[in-house]
Amino acid sequence: MALFSTDYNYNYNYAPTLLYLFLVFVLLRAVHGLNPTVLARQEADRVVNLPGQPQVDFKHYAGYVTVNESHGRALFYWFFEAVDEPHNKPLLLWLNGGPGCSSVGYGEAEELGPFFPRKGSQPRLNLNKNSWNKAANLLFVESPVGVGFSYTNTSSDINQLGDSITAKDSYAFLVNWFKRFPQFKSHEFYISGESYAGHYVPQLSEVIFDSNKQVSKSKFINLKGFMIGNALLDDDTDQTGMIDYAWDHAVISDKVYKDVKSKCNFSSTDQTEACKNALNEYFAVYDLIDMYSLYTPTCVQNSTTRRRLPAVNGIAPHLFSKFENWHRKPAGYDPCADSYTEAYLNRPDVQAALHANVTKMAYNWTHCSNNITFWGDAPASILPVIRKLVNGGLRIWVYSGDTDGRIPVTATRMTLKKLGLKIVKDWTPWYSHNQVGGWTITYEGAMFVTIRGAGHQVPTFKPKEALLMLKHFLANKTMPPKAF
């Protein structure tokens, strides 16, 4: 059975000569002091002859890292070295949420990675000139197992998924990935993500933070901080903020707004029939416009089919996630981009080049997994974790595209107020190319950044501004305070 197969034979479509391998080993060992076994494993994951790829000067690698040997769980990754001086750049892990959605499908292929699949009968990748590997070595992981190309040989694992096991498996992935790429182990390490990664990123950071206090030097991870965008952080404020934002942006009527506010209690998961009816009216509006980006067009290519995420029971927010219309797929600036990505990643020659689908899945690769239907644990608030990590001295930035209706800027502002950090510098404009790019609030221990005109997937809608933000985050500098 594809998802649980034990077949682990790579199908390489290239055959380097012994001389080439010898020269690679000599060069890399001279530079990094790596042994031949490590070098050979890295070279086995090296991506060459990727269909439709433009010529680039940086190296990239893809493959599997086992996170649980007894269960046969392995996570698929795609890693891009920085465009310039990768040996001097930090390492950034990017996670998409869902839960159950692919960081390769969204993050790499449609937001901030180097290669974007394009429409056409022949495979074609466009080079993203605002790729985040211009600022960092960039790592994407499909997590948890069951997402994208990641798999398990133990079928019961899929029914045991939740926030905790996702964080633990992601940590195991990192420990083992650094064994494969030890030359990056001393680099500053950061994590970023969006949406449900508002759970993933702080929780993984907490596991690393706690583990670093007791592990040996060989397992120590040089975590410096994290940055999360349009992030699900607190059920109460996230849900309240969605309703307030929708009314404030002329999405819902006064009546719908009044009905929801008077009949629903977002601090509870148990709601009356009147509340359910009011929320159905609220969600119905997003059959007409894109919840993730209020002012961009919807895809008409498949206009007769509603674009839904798989419904997963037990996830946060515990009330809204019970409604069908909450499970809506995000689109991008090109609202049909996900169809190009799925066509590309389901090509056998692409999978062979990426050393992917080694289990010969019985189903097509999709952005979000149809196999994950149950989520075992999802705390209603991540704020206790964030408070702990703020106190632990990690660098923490929260950013928000201000045209997103899914996890809107209104909700995030309410959440950060609830977090209770002291404001060091209030609402301050920042600039990008002589224009206001958004606003910042500097807290004692955290930074909040808005990105003007961006939807849920900020790097998709405002790629230049997103890259600028990343560079300032990594440099631990405030956003540009004046026009330049």
Per annotation, catalytic residue among 170, 205, 404, 432: 404
| 195 is an active site residue | yes
Strand (E) or helix (H) holding 200? helix 197-211
> For residue 144, is the peptide bond before it cis, meaning its omega torsion is within 30 degrees of 0?
yes
**Number of helices and strands in the chain (H, E):** 13, 12
Quick check: 345 and 377 in contact, CB under 8 A? no
- The answer for residues whose C-beta is within 8 angstroms of residue 331's C-beta and 6 or more apart is 290, 292, 293, 296, 298, 299, 307, 337, 338
Task: Write the CA distances from 295 to 21, 402, 447, integer angstroms.
Answer: 52, 11, 27
- Tokens in use for 379? 């705390």
What are 308's strand-pairing partners? 328
Strand (E) or helix (H) holding 66? strand 60-68
Provide the strand spans (E) within 347-482.
395-401, 423-432, 435-443, 446-451
Per annotation, catalytic residue among 102, 195, 400, 432: 195
From the CB of residue 88, how many other CB atoms can be counted at a distance below 10 Å?
9
Quick check: 137 and 184 in contact, CB under 8 A? yes
| 199 is an active site residue | no
> For residue 114, is the peptide bond before it cis, meaning its omega torsion is within 30 degrees of 0?
no
44-83 residues labelled b (16+ CB within 10 A) or e (exposed): ebbbeebbbbeebebebbbbbbebbeebbbbbbbbbbbbb
In 33-86, alpha helices (H): 36-45
From the CB of residue 331, how many other CB atoms can be counted at a distance below 10 Å?
25
Quick check: 145 and 151 in contact, CB under 8 A? yes
First to last CA, the chain: 57
| 259 is an active site residue | no
Which one-letter amino acid corresponds to residue 432? S
Strand (E) or helix (H) holding 139? strand 137-142
Per annotation, catalytic residue among 60, 327, 456, 472: 456
Annotated catalytic residues are: 195, 404, 456
